[in-house]
Amino acid sequence: MSIESRLAELGITLPEAMAPVANYVPWVRSGNLIFVSGQISTADGKPLTGKLGDTMDVAAGTAAARSCGLALIAQLKSATGSLDKVARVVKLTAFVNSTPDFGDQPEVVNGCSDLMVEVFGDKGRHARAAVSAPSLPRGVAVEVDAIFEVE
């Protein structure tokens, strides 16, 4: 089954690949690897702001991380033209805007990780870092970047 068919089966519509808001490119290809710049949490095309452990709970953070995953896949599609070229999700690095005492970053970032496995199956299993940050650009709740291997 193609990844596009899988997305349709899951009822997932990818957002538009966002243009950069500063001096960087949305993705870079080096050999068979595609490095996708950090994608911020969004809702209805607008930054999804909040601080885990203060104004957001884990469930809302998980949804925010999932939105980052959708944006990563949209950038990947822009880079490859076809998601069927994906050989592996190699690594995710996630930043969670959270209070100093918040410790559920892994559960929040599962929103993105679970999406990768839903969409890509075993190819979606990846290495990962999930870290806290005292603030993120535009006050967003979560930002995730990724490395993908393509054929």
For the chain, domains (ranges, CATH) are: 3-10+24-150 (3.30.1330.40)
pLDDT over 90 (residue 116): yes
Q: What is the pLDDT of residue 84?
A: 97
pLDDT digits (tens, 9 = 90+) for 38-97: 999 999 999 999 999 999 999 999 999 999 999 999 999 999 999 999 999 999 999 999
List, in order, residues 6 or more apart from 77 with CB less than 8 Å away.
14, 17, 83
Whether the model clears a pTM of 0.95, i.e. scores above it, the answer is yes
Tell me how crowded residue 33 is: count the other CB atoms within 10 A of its CB. Answer: 15
Q: What is the pLDDT of residue 1?
A: 84
Q: What is the pLDDT of residue 126?
A: 98
User: What is the percent of the chain where pLDDT is above 90?
Assistant: 98
Return d(Cα 18, Cα 16) in angstroms, integer.
Answer: 6
Mean pLDDT, all residues of the chain: 97
For the segment 17-32, the average pLDDT, to the nearest whole number, is 96
